[in-house]
Structure 1
Amino acid sequence: MTSPLSRQLVQWRRELHQNPELSNQEFATTARITDWLQQGNVRILPFDLTTGVVAEIGQGEPLIALRADIDALPIEEQVTHPWASTRPGVMHACGHDLHSSVMLGVAYRLKQQEAQLKGRVRILFQPAEETFNGAQQLIDAGVLDGVQAIFGMHNAPDLPLNSFKTRGGAFYANVDRFLIRIRGKGAHAARPHEGIDSIVIASQIVTALQTLPSRTFSSLESVVVSVTRFSAGNTWNVLPESVELEGTVRTHNAEIRTQIPEKITALIKGIAGGFGAEAELEWIKGPPAVVNTPAWADFALRLAEECGYQAESAATPQMGGEDFAFYLHHVPGVFVSIGSASEFGLHHPGFDPSESVIDPAVDYFTQLAPRALKIVANENHQEFTDASSCS
């Protein structure tokens, strides 16, 4: 039989799902989460934030942090549950409503045992993860001041329920975006010899970009180059003068990451120049790789096994990105993936994760928090190997 809190968390998740808000627009979401925390007498910290909530349980030192994200995506939902999005073109297609519900449950559970906590647990309900600027907003506001370790999760629709994975070192990838602009010479489609065909040039650039991972860098490195938008022309009988390409590059290697813009620039200028055209690259740097602290990753995996998860101890690095990475540049910690068993993946209009994820994840982080406080307080690495039974 489910507990009253378990039923409440599902209800809150559905309310969040019905009322999604885009990055940096999460005003109603912030108000809801704040109200629900206050109903549980959970302390809200007065950080200067436009959106997002920071709560805290416990007293004294040490201090650790847990993080959930709260924003949605500009996607038209195709799932037909009664709690489907009521906002056209906006959907929780990444499960941030699930993550928020989990951390709300953890806040309530930790509040019940606040007198026994040996330190403080700060819970971050972070805005704007999808635009990769929310974590930095919270860091700039000072939410990491005094924090000695941080922990976060993401649901994984490609994994079955009760599965859990993480790894020490690089887990999620560096994420960068590029815009490539090619300028040729427009012409009548019946007389292409009078112009410089920017579409042909752009097509060759798209093909050539795919050789970067396999012919420029070692095949043992994880490098993905994807062109996701090809924009050109506005009618059927004119060769357009210009084309714009957009896409993303993912890698786990920081050194390779720094080399890629130069490689792309040389490639596109060489191809365009051979046709008498011009090409330029605009590089938009995104979040770095999520690099987990090995000792905390080992601890997280051992605790997951004790809590009944099927834990994967040698998880394959993921090519997705996460702005949780910014926190790990300041404090040690670990980011984990928990199976949510959706037929459709993240950022898909049919994404439909199982709500059965919530209760076990609440149990897990409720156990993790006091255990992590003990480890940080003792500064005893032997403690990393001691597990704790979940309820």
Structure 2
Amino acid sequence: MTTRKPAPDAPCSINPLSIDSLARRVIEWRRELHQFPELSEQEYQTTQRITRWLHQLSIAPLPIPLQTGVVADIGASSGPVVALRADIDALPIVEDTDVPFPSQHSGVMHACGHDFHTAVMLGAAGLLKAREAQLPGRVRLLFQPAEEVSVGARQLIHAGALQPVSAVFGLHNAPELPSGTFATRSGAFYANVDRFSIRITGKGAHAAKPEEGIDSIIAASHIVIALQTLPSRRVSSLESLVVSVTRIEGGNTWNVLPQTVELEGTVRTYSTQVREQVPDMMRQVIHGTAAALGAQAELAWHPGPPSVVNTPFWADFSRQVAAEQGYQVEIAERQMGGEDFALYLQSGPGTFVSIGSGSPFGLHHPGFNPDESAIYPASRYFAALAEAALHQLAQEQHTAATSKATSPTA
């Protein structure tokens, strides 16, 4: 376990009235975001709102070329740089909650809590801005678009948003954990995420004369069942593999056997080796099953983000800061969900954490409703984490410079 000395003065030691005001503001920001959710790569109004709120905190966004999303810095121009990331997009889900601030955009909802995440990081920004003169470096704020379609992190990386970041931190609210609970783990945390689609072609016919056709619906049904033999019979039980078919589409009337059926779904893994083997195993299953029934089937494979792999040092570090901030700290279980935060961790060190949000319904559910009382404590936590990380990195740089200066070969 990493040990460290807390940074001098708690990062939240600002005027109590300011604290009360900011604690109210984060709730207001979250509710406004919740009322006006936007889908991935369409977050134009969300971007404008975040930009306006940052200006109200006297924080100017950086001129990084992005269609949506915001990047901003707080702190000195010299010294180390750490990043805090929040995702800002919503989902195509019809809301079914009883909150007094429901979505005003029909069929779109913050059902994953990205409004929660954005409010958390805006609150952290306000706290860090109040201590800007004491920061031994810079904190970069990443308000990232398009997490739900796994392209936003790559957009920010290509735009240069991680230069010159030394460590990056992010969060996801965890509705299964009560408010006041914090969890993370070293190493693999979230899964590799891939999408697939399958097109099954038979021979259309009158439903009263199925013998004259090749039933693509029967073939599709057998393929769906056969795919479940991959995790149970083709991969070691010590490995993690999920194959979920999430869409079946075929036919347009009640008395015709359709010519084609389309399937779509997702595969989740942790092992890189298993991930690489799955497409070929799926092709064997779908081709063989379809052929046995006289049909044809083709697989289209769409790779998604890799596994989130936390840097052990920063995972331990983040847990210590969480304990200092009063959280009930737990070792997180591995998640089969996916996160394009993984791409940041492929570019450099950092960690992804879970903040308990105590919702009676889970992520991506129409009734998802996180506990708003968890937002401001999370803001305090990320402000503390960012400042502590800057002190840690500054100390490491100082030690390295001193060591080099006193080396006999210097």
Q: What does residue range 209-220 of structure 1 map to in structure 2 within 5 Å?
A: 209-220=227-238
Deviations 1:155-193 (A, max 9, x none): 011111111111111101111110011101111112111
Matched residue SS, 2:146? coil
Other-structure match for 2:184: 166
Q: 1:318 aligns with which of 329, 335, 350?
A: 335
Q: Note if 1:83 corresponds to 2:83.
A: no
Matched residue SS, 1:346? coil
Q: 1:265 aligns with which of 283, 287, 302?
A: 283
Aligned-pair CA distance for 1:297: 0.7
Q: Note if 1:15 corresponds to 2:32.
A: yes
Separation in 2 of the partners of 1:214 and 1:301?
Answer: 36
Q: Note if 1:231 corresponds to 2:253.
A: no
Aligned-pair CA distance for 1:127: 0.6
Other-structure match for 1:350: 367
Number of residue pairs matched?
Answer: 380
Separation in 2 of the partners of 1:230 and 1:273?
Answer: 19
Other-structure match for 1:330: 347
Shifted more, 27-36 versus 368-377: the winner is 368-377
TM-score with structure 1 length normalisation? 0.95
Aligned-pair CA distance for 1:277: 1.3
Q: 1:65 aligns with which of 74, 79, 83?
A: 83
- Letter of the aligned partner of 1:326 in structure 2? L
- Letter of the aligned partner of 1:50 in structure 2? Q
Q: 2:56 aligns with which of 39, 42, 47?
A: 39
Aligned-pair CA distance for 1:378: 2.7
Q: What does residue range 359-374 of structure 1 map to in structure 2 within 5 Å?
A: 359-374=376-391
Q: Which runs of 4+ in 1 moved over 3 A?
A: none
Other-structure match for 2:23: 6
Deviations 1:118-144 (A, max 9, x none): 000001000111111001110010001
- Letter of the aligned partner of 1:192 in structure 2? P
- Letter of the aligned partner of 2:65 in structure 1? D
User: Gaps (5+ residues) in structure 1?
Assistant: 383-391
Separation in 1 of the partners of 2:221 and 2:256?
Answer: 17
Aligned-pair CA distance for 1:281: 0.2
Separation in 1 of the partners of 2:174 and 2:54?
Answer: 26
- Letter of the aligned partner of 1:167 in structure 2? R
Aligned-pair CA distance for 1:304: 1.3
Separation in 1 of the partners of 2:240 and 2:313?
Answer: 24
Other-structure match for 1:389: none
TM-score with structure 2 length normalisation? 0.91
Aligned-pair CA distance for 1:223: 0.8
Separation in 2 of the partners of 1:277 and 1:172?
Answer: 37
User: Gaps (5+ residues) in structure 2?
Assistant: 1-15, 400-410
Q: 2:136 aligns with which of 91, 102, 118?
A: 118
- Letter of the aligned partner of 1:95 in structure 2? G
Separation in 2 of the partners of 1:371 and 1:265?
Answer: 50
Separation in 2 of the partners of 1:378 and 1:260?
Answer: 45
Aligned-CA RMSD value: 1.3
Q: Note if 1:55 corresponds to 2:77.
A: no
- Letter of the aligned partner of 2:47 in structure 1? T
Matched residue SS, 2:338? coil
Separation in 1 of the partners of 2:251 and 2:214?
Answer: 14
Separation in 1 of the partners of 2:329 and 2:107?
Answer: 36
Matched residue SS, 2:85? strand
Separation in 2 of the partners of 1:276 and 1:8?
Answer: 63
Separation in 2 of the partners of 1:187 and 1:18?
Answer: 48
Q: 1:340 aligns with which of 357, 364, 377?
A: 357
Aligned-pair CA distance for 1:107: 0.7
- Letter of the aligned partner of 1:101 in structure 2? A
Separation in 1 of the partners of 2:157 and 2:252?
Answer: 44
Other-structure match for 1:177: 195
Identity %: 63
- Letter of the aligned partner of 1:269 in structure 2? H
Aligned-pair CA distance for 1:377: 2.3
Shifted more, 200-209 versus 76-85: the winner is 76-85
